[in-house]
Amino acid sequence: MTWARFFDAAEPVHALVAESGGRLVGLVHYIFHRSTILIGPTCYLQDLFTDESLRGRGIGRALIEAVYERAKAAGAARVYWLTHETNETARRLYDQVAERSGFIQYRKQI
């Protein structure tokens, strides 16, 4: 179903990939959704992955910047994402490309 959503123009779910030498080295999934506090869409960066052996080479940053460009083109005023507090490697990058919101996520499986 996820793959079908990526290729359905009516769906707000999108994917980008990074390639090097004909090999997939990174990917990002992002979703546009409405908000009660903004007129335009909001962009949620849901997944970001880069080949572990290539981390620190700008692949993740390039994918995040590509999402920023797509969000801006779609009229979104905000891109946001979540990461685990122990994900120190990713947080070093995230601290350079965005601001921490200070929010704490709560959830309940139903």
Q: What is the pLDDT of residues 36-76, one digit of tens each?
A: 999 999 999 999 999 999 999 999 999 999 999 999 999 99
Tell me the pLDDT tens digit for each residue of 32-44: 999 999 999 999 9
pLDDT at position 10: 92
Q: What pLDDT was estimated at residue 104?
A: 87
Q: What is the DSSP string of the chain?
A: -HHHHHT-TTSSEEEEEEEETTEEEEEEEEEEE--SS-SS-EEEEEEEEE-GGGTTSSHHHHHHHHHHHHHHHTT-S-EE----TT-HHHHHHHHHHS------------
Task: Provide the pLDDT for residue 88.
Answer: 93
Overall CATH class of domain 2-97: alpha beta
Total-model pTM: 0.92
> What is the total residue count of the chain?
110
Mean pLDDT of the residues in the chain: 95
